[in-house]
Amino acid sequence: MLPSDVRETRYRNLGRSLSLLGAYGRQYAKCEELLAIEPDHAEALICRGYTLEKLGRYEDAIATFERVITLCPKSALAWQGRGIALGRQGCYEEALTSFSQALKLDSNDYRLWQNHGKALMNLYRHQEAIHSFERVIALKPDNYKAWYNRAIAFSSLSDHDTALTNLNIALKIKPNSDYIWNYRGIVLSKLGRHAEALISFENSIKINPQHSSAWYGRACCYAVQGKVEPAIEDLERAIELSPSVCRNLARTDITFNPLQNDSRFQALMVEHS
């Protein structure tokens, strides 16, 4: 079983992360300056709420958006921001309620439909999520994330052929996406098309050599094809990048059954302090 890799990495490296967080911090300070003068300035509060969400201060963000909603009950941006922050905390039912309320106020915001769909996905309501992503595509046909998320929903419903079609469209829009190539490899593996899956994982690794799921997926492909040496080498790399996740997956993954008696595989299953 291949590891699930359904979330886009927000920051590709530590330097960029610190740079972005620094920018959000400066933005937060500007919002606070304005709010010190005018505490009920709705736009400044919305800015503050989204900045707090980016800084990972989800409770504060929720409180800020709820204050905006008290002042301006018809603010779709506030309802959406509340939903995003709730989703970050894993409160998907509440997040969905917020997104649904926002859509009543603004049904033409493709980002709202995207967030609505992702909340449904997290609640395993995949068929409904597909409808939400279709609304995104209707509003913005070149939104590769909608095609990608739609593919995940179809694959979750075991419709891997339709998932593959959606991934191919996503890659036409965003050919340099490591996570789309990786998920394409996962879907092809589920279809038993391991040679093609191998190519997808290789493309993912070329784009992002730090993508542990792609290394793991390629190891699985090699194992299925009876190529022991490259399978162990790739699994070792995957475990180096993501030790606990990849090691735990490999321990129960029937794909690696032919390697169970190999001393190198056994060594990889041992945790090091």
- Asked if the domains at 109-161 and 176-273 fall in one CATH topology, the answer is yes
Q: How far are the Cα atoms of 44, 55, 119, 233, 235 from residue 114, in angstroms, in the given order?
A: 24, 21, 9, 38, 34
CATH superfamily ID and name for 109-161: Tetratricopeptide repeat domain (1.25.40.10)
Per-residue pLDDT tens for 82-113? Answer: 999 999 999 999 999 999 999 999 999 999 99
Per-residue pLDDT tens for 201-217? Answer: 999 999 999 999 999 99
Q: Which two tokens stand for residue 164?
A: 């593959």
The CATH class of 176-273 is: mainly alpha
The CATH class of 16-106 is: mainly alpha
DSSP 111-127: HHHHHHHHHHHHTT-HH
Per-residue pLDDT tens for 144-182? Answer: 999 999 999 999 999 999 999 999 999 999 999 999 999
16: confidence class by pLDDT, cuts 50, 70, 90: very low
14: confidence class by pLDDT, cuts 50, 70, 90: very low
For the CA atoms of 8, 14, 15, 17, the dihedral, rounded to the nearest 10 degrees, stands at: 50
Instruction: Please report, for the chain, the start and end positions of each structural domain, with discontinuous segments joined by +.
Output: 16-106, 109-161, 176-273
* Residue 32 predicted with pLDDT over 70: no
Per-residue pLDDT tens for 208-250? Answer: 999 999 999 999 999 999 999 999 999 999 999 999 999 999 9
Between residues 92 and 6, the one the model is more confident about = 92
* Residue 11 predicted with pLDDT over 80: no
pLDDT for res 8: 36
How does 49-83 read in b/e, with b if 16+ C-beta sit within 10 Å?
A: bbbbbbbebbebbbebbbbbbeebeebbbbbbbbb
Question: Residue 184's Cα: distance from chain center in Å?
Answer: 14
